[in-house]
Amino acid sequence: MNALTTSIRRSAIGLGLFAVITGGTIALTQGVTKDRIQEQAARAEARALFEIIPEHQHDNDLLRDVVTLPANTRQPASGPVNVWVARRDGRPIGIIMPAVAPDGYSGEIRLLVGLDLDGKVLGVRVTNHRETPGLGDRIETRKSDWVYSFDGRSLGNPPANQWNVKKNGGVFDQFTGATITPRAVVKAVQHSLSYFRQNREVIRERLNEPPSPRNRQLTPEAIAGEANPAEHS
Ligand SMILES: Cc1cc2nc3c(=O)[nH]c(=O)nc-3n(C[C@H](O)[C@H](O)[C@H](O)COP(=O)(O)O)c2cc1C
| Mutation test residue for ligand 1: of 103, 105, 131, the one with most atoms within 8 Å of CB | 105
| 2-35 pLDDT per residue, tens | 777 888 888 888 888 888 878 887 787 777 777 8
Q: For the chain, how many structural domains are there in total?
A: 1
Note the pTM of the prediction, 2 decimals.
Answer: 0.80
Take atom 14 of ligand 1 and give the residue whose Cα is closest. Answer: 178
What domain range is 198 assigned to? 49-227
Residue 161 lies in a domain: yes
Take atom 10 of ligand 1 and give the residue whose Cα is closest. Answer: 178
Residue 30 lies in a domain: no
Residue 72 lies in a domain: yes
Distance from C-alpha of 83 to C-alpha of 55, rounded to nearest angstrom:
17
Residue 152 lies in a domain: yes
Distance from C-alpha of 18 to C-alpha of 13, rounded to nearest angstrom:
9
**What number does the ligand 1 atom closest to the CA of 131 have?**
8
| 90-131 pLDDT per residue, tens | 999 999 999 999 999 999 999 999 999 999 999 999 999 999
Question: What is the CB neighbour count within 10 angstroms for residue 148?
Answer: 12
Q: Which helix (H) or strand (E) holds 67?
A: strand 66-69
**196 in Cβ contact with 190 (< 8 Å):** no
Which one of 18-22, 44-48, 71-75, 81-85 scores highest in mean pLDDT?
81-85
Among 41-45, 60-64, 85-89, 124-128, name the one with the lowest average pLDDT.
41-45
Q: Please state, for a pLDDT cut of 70, what percent of the chain lies above it.
A: 88
Residue 141 lies in a domain: yes
- List the strands of the sheet with 107-116, edge to edge: 66-69, 81-88, 91-104, 107-116, 121-128
Residue 149 lies in a domain: yes
Q: Is 131 in the pocket of ligand 1 (CB under 6 A)?
A: yes
**Total residues belonging to the chain:** 233
Q: Is 109 in the pocket of ligand 1 (CB under 6 A)?
A: no
Rounded to the nearest integer, the mean pLDDT of the chain is 87
Residue 59 lies in a domain: yes
The answer to whether the Cα torsion of 82, 93, 155, 109 is positive or negative is negative
CB environment 22-50: b (16+ within 10 A), e (fewer): eeeeeeeeeeeeeeeebeebbebbbebbb
Q: Is 130 in the pocket of ligand 1 (CB under 6 A)?
A: no
Q: What is the DSSP letter of 230?
A: -
**114 in Cβ contact with 96 (< 8 Å):** yes
